[in-house]
Amino acid sequence: MRASDGDNNPNGLLAFTIGGQRYALSLAAVETVVRAVEITPLPKAPDIVLGVINVHGRVVPVFNVRRRFGLSEGEISLDDHIIIARTDRRVVSLAVEQVEGVMERPSREPVPSGDILPSMEYVEGVVKLADGMVFIHNLDTFLSLDEDRALNNELDESNGEG
């Protein structure tokens, strides 16, 4: 599944599920979705990073969304997916259970997360649907500054630059 046309659709969201809850990313940030692959651990990376994967020669960190949101841990299965996306600083990936597809939402519809719960810094908004809510991730704030620094150091070290 490619999402490269997302740049033309700033209101598009890629919906996915983790632990029975629906989440979404801005379609403009999504590069592609792939089937789960083996993740290589990074011993000194922040706990929020499961490890790295090789995506067409690029070393891409895999974020642990379950851990960030306090969901129960689960093993990644071959039925799971990995979403490859861009942040302001790097290409990253998210291990998710299921990708539901693209949602079209008017830009005025998402409720800012601060209006619901101010401590939801990793979520930029919430879309209310007839059958529940979808939390919209903000990948640029997913890692704290310390976690981002630790990840950069570990990636540099693992690439032989340390």
Domain containing 129 — which CATH number?
A: 2.40.50.180
Of residues 155 and 130, the one with the higher pLDDT is 155
Residue 5 has pLDDT above 90, yes or no: no
- Based on the number of CB atoms within 10 Å of its own CB, is 43 exposed (0-12), middle (13-18) or buried (19 or more)? exposed
**What does pTM read for this prediction?**
0.79
pLDDT on residue 100? 92
Contacting residues for 35 by C-beta, under 8 A, at least 6 apart: 78, 80, 81, 82
Domain region containing 20:
4-158
Nearest to 93 by CA among 12, 161, 37: 37
Identity of the highest mean pLDDT range in 30-34, 133-137, 138-142: 30-34
Tokens for 25, please give them. 């990313």
Number of domains the chain contains: 1
